[in-house]
Chain A
Amino acid sequence: MNTFLDMLWVEMRKTLRSRMPLFTVLGSMLMPFGVAFLVFVSRNPDISHKLGLVSAKATLMADAATTWPAYLTLIGEMIGAGGFFFFCLILSWIFGREFSDGTLKDMLAVPVPRSRILLAKFAVSAAWSVGLSLVVVALSLLMGALIGLPGGSTAVILQGCLRALAVAGLTIVVVMPFALFASIGRGYLLPVGVAVLVLIMANVVQVAGWGEYFPWAIPVFLSQPKLTLTAASYWVVFFTGLAGIAATYLWWKFSDQSR
């Protein structure tokens, strides 16, 4: 346990000393700002007329999100798609930086089990992603209140927030395999490339009606109040996360590290 806490300290220190947490917080804040702005535009025809293309986008994306439940559903969708990218980026940075900074070799011939080093990395990545999700949800509430959305009660808002956080939770689990891609690609490029591919595939699979079984489409599926996930979807998410952690461990333990 002590060695795990030590590894946690090391990973936390590396994270907190970098600018990445700040960049991801600033970047993720654009999501609630953007959604609230579009909702605001779609609810104000006077402004909408003056904004042309932005107005069209606002109509397309946020026309239905003029109440608290609909707004929070849209936030949930944003977390499912945009959050996926941010969580991928966080995980890729935590794992990939050891390769790009050339520091991996210094944690290979050490008496600490590799499993603890990796668990600490996954734990910090998950904590960072959860923190980011909380920032997004809190800011969404603030923006919703500022633009004066109707139809909000404590129960409705609480339920919408919990759903958005549940979407974030599932997304955090399904991005675990990207640690393997960062390790195999020895940096950030491969996981980012795979993330783009996966998002395209998720859209195709969802249109085809198989979204509830495709791990990276399931979180967005959950964001829709009208749809309910079956136990099979949760198992798919669970096994995807587990497979990502296990494969990353096996790769770190058994692959040649010649650079």
Chain B
Amino acid sequence: MSTYLIETQNLGKRYGDVQAVENLSLRVAEGEIYAFLGLNGAGKTTTIRMLLGMIRPTSGTATVLQTRVRLGSRQPWDRVGYLVEIPHAYPELSVYENLEAARRLHPGTPPAAVSQIIERLGLAAYAGRRAGNLSQGNAQRLGLARALLHNPRLVFLDEPANGLDPAGIVEIRQLLLELTHQQGVTVFMSSHILAEVARLAGRVGIIHQGRLLQELDVDELERRRLRRLLVRARDPEAARRVLASAGFAVESLPDGLLQLNQPACIEHPDDIASLLVRAEIPPTQLLVEEEELEQYFLRLVGDVK
């Protein structure tokens, strides 16, 4: 039986007339990477802040590490790390001093943890530099270092790849995968970078206008993305007639492309090629195209609108 490190039941937050989050019920199992997808203002950060006890929900409950979250409570934060929105640090303190200050906010964390996390996040060259003089990418690393400093069991990361260069993104992805696979750390992350989510997360929750639209495994997400077969021939109209007479629904696209959506075509494009060759209209191009995650996401939230 799975242990759930995060559980919410009908969680909601209303600011006056604005319902920021509504009836949010989700569960995150130990050791998984759960990605929270949504447009700006969808309610991602409000949800994370409620889960961290920074905002009082107007309805429902949240449980983190089997402890009911209450505003201003000391529990269960000793094994929870977080990076919420833009990573801020004390600008006049060095990277090392900022992390030392963070260490002292987590009693029991050994002093050596500061140097270790500096090494791990590639901040050694900047350890003595004032945080106010860091680049955006290094400030993000410092924020991640602070979240991971005390060896947490559960980490909340709000847009963890923000400001990182491509090498940094790969590095942080490796680090998060290592944390979950080798140390069993559970990650709850929000992101706009859908391709990144697909590479990292095991499960995805899609939130729009404060409501959880879908919660699904990444494999299922892959299955739900639309796929199509694109066919190009020298005589598109003749090819369309052949395919239509064989019982396929064919849609003509601009530039002479033909689109087929039936699973049989997508699974066996070679059959389509054979059919056209036999009719002496050989295809000049056959392409199975998968819907981009962004398109899937926009299609989903567009349906709701």
Looking at the complex, which one of B72, B85, B101 makes contact with A13 (CB distance below 8 Å)? B101
Nearest residue, chain B, Cβ from A11: B101
CB neighbours of B49 from chain A (8 A):
257-258
CA distance A181 to B78 in the complex (A): 30
- Take A6-B107, A111-B78, A112-B105 as given contacts and tell me if A252 and B72 are in contact as well, using a CB distance cutoff of 8 Å: yes
Q: Does A7 lie at the interface of the complex (its beta carbon under 8 Å from any beta carbon of B)? A: yes
CB neighbours of B84 from chain A (8 A):
105
CB neighbours of A108 from chain B (8 A):
52-54, 72
CB neighbours of B100 from chain A (8 A):
13
- Take A109-B80, A111-B75, A256-B56 as given contacts and tell me if A17 and B107 are in contact as well, using a CB distance cutoff of 8 Å: no
Smallest beta-carbon distance B96→chain A, Å: 11
Q: State whether B72 touches A17 (Cβ < 8 A).
A: no
Chain A contact residue count (CB 8 A cutoff): 30
Q: State whether A256 touches B55 (Cβ < 8 A).
A: yes
Q: State whether A111 touches B107 (Cβ < 8 A).
A: yes
- Take A105-B84, A109-B80 as given contacts and tell me if A254 and B72 are in contact as well, using a CB distance cutoff of 8 Å: yes
Q: State whether B53 touches A109 (Cβ < 8 A).
A: yes
Chain B contact residue count (CB 8 A cutoff): 33
Nearest residue, chain A, Cβ from B76: A111
Q: Give chain B interface residues in 100-116, CB to chain A under 8 Å.
A: 100-102, 104-107
Nearest residue, chain A, Cβ from B103: A6
Q: State whether A109 touches B55 (Cβ < 8 A).
A: no
Interface string of A106-140 (1 = CB under 8 A from B): 11111111100000000000000000000000000
Looking at the complex, which one of B54, B90, B97 makes contact with A105 (CB distance below 8 Å)? B54
Smallest beta-carbon distance B159→chain A, Å: 14
CA distance A34 to B217 in the complex (A): 72
Interface string of B34-77 (1 = CB under 8 A from A): 00000000000010010011111000000000000001101101
CB neighbours of B72 from chain A (8 A):
108, 114, 252-254
Looking at the complex, which one of A18, A111, A114, A258 makes contact with B55 (CB distance below 8 Å)? A258
- Take A112-B107, A254-B72 as given contacts and tell me if A106 and B55 are in contact as well, using a CB distance cutoff of 8 Å: no
Among A105, A113, A253, the most chain B Cβ lie within 10 Å of the Cβ of A105
CA distance A157 to B279 in the complex (A): 114
CB neighbours of A226 from chain B (8 A):
none
Interface string of A83-125 (1 = CB under 8 A from B): 0000000000000000001110111111111100000000000
Q: State whether B105 touches A14 (Cβ < 8 A).
A: no
Nearest residue, chain B, Cβ from A16: B92
Q: Does A203 lie at the interface of the complex (its beta carbon under 8 Å from any beta carbon of B)? A: no
Q: State whether A256 touches B54 (Cβ < 8 A).
A: yes
CB neighbours of A210 from chain B (8 A):
none
Q: State whether B104 touches A257 (Cβ < 8 A).
A: no
Q: State whether A14 touches B101 (Cβ < 8 A).
A: yes
CA distance A3 to B71 in the complex (A): 21
Nearest residue, chain B, Cβ from A97: B90
Looking at the complex, which one of A2, A111, A256, A258 makes contact with B106 (CB distance below 8 Å)? A111
CB neighbours of A254 from chain B (8 A):
56, 71-72
- Take A109-B53, A111-B74, A257-B54 as given contacts and tell me if A103 and B106 are in contact as well, using a CB distance cutoff of 8 Å: no
Nearest residue, chain A, Cβ from B72: A253
Q: State whether A13 touches B107 (Cβ < 8 A).
A: no
Interface string of B81-101 (1 = CB under 8 A from A): 010111011111100010011
Q: Does B146 lie at the interface of the complex (its beta carbon under 8 Å from any beta carbon of A)? A: yes
CB neighbours of A102 from chain B (8 A):
86, 88
Q: State whether B71 touches A253 (Cβ < 8 A).
A: yes
CA distance A85 to B26 in the complex (A): 50
Q: Does A196 lie at the interface of the complex (its beta carbon under 8 Å from any beta carbon of B)? A: no
Known: A107-B105, A254-B71. 14 other contacts (CB 8 A): A2-B107, A6-B107, A7-B104, A10-B105, A13-B97, A13-B100, A102-B88, A106-B88, A109-B54, A109-B77, A111-B106, A113-B74, A253-B72, A258-B46
Interface residues of A, Cβ cutoff 8 Å to B: 2-3, 6-7, 9-10, 13-14, 17-19, 101-103, 105-114, 252-254, 256-258
Chain A to chain B: the 3 pairs with minimum beta-carbon distance, closest first: A102-B88, A253-B72, A6-B104
